[in-house]
Amino acid sequence: MTRYGPFTEVASDGQKGWLTDDYRPIPEHLRRMLGFLDGEKEYTYAIWRGADPESIIGFREPAGDSFIQAAGGSAGITVEVRLPAPDGLSRLYTVGRPESTDGSSVLIPISDKRAVRVGVNEVFTADEAAEIFYKFYLSESVSEPYVLRELDLAQQLSEER
């Protein structure tokens, strides 16, 4: 029996499909996809576990609540992850480096009209973001040295560009 998954990918244009190593190894593919983010035409990329990796269309529905997504362009890339919290509910987090900052922030484009403001310790290169994505692909978690800042979904998380 053919196995397709386990992870689904979606880029800025909304096209979904199985994330596979048919053309290149997964780490290289993730780096390539994140490298396309330019903040002008390509803004976002995400992966999550597909519901049925035995089905060619099993990617259409997620297997659970967890996912990892990136947005950005020339100013850098921000990475968000949705993971189960200790209370069993899923939470959305921004991934960052553990270093303290002076409160400086960067505006990262997520569409033609919107952007998110993140701390300077929450901005990554495509290479760094690909490493975070690959660790998520292997474990569905974000590991050290990275830290997570929970996002308050009751607040407006983006602003006009």
pLDDT in tens, 37-96: 999 999 999 999 988 777 777 676 777 789 999 999 877 999 999 999 889 899 999 999
Residue 123 has pLDDT above 80, yes or no: yes
Q: Which residues contact 78 (CB under 8 A, 6 or more apart)?
A: 70, 71, 72, 94, 95, 108, 116, 118, 122, 123, 124
Band (1; pLDDT cuts 50, 70, 90): very low
Q: CB atoms < 10 A from the CB of 148, how many?
A: 17
Q: Is 68 or 22 the better-scoring residue by pLDDT? A: 68
Enter the pTM of the model.
0.91
Mean pLDDT of 96-114: 89
For residue 122, name the pLDDT band (cuts at 50, 70, 90): very high
Mean pLDDT of the chain: 90
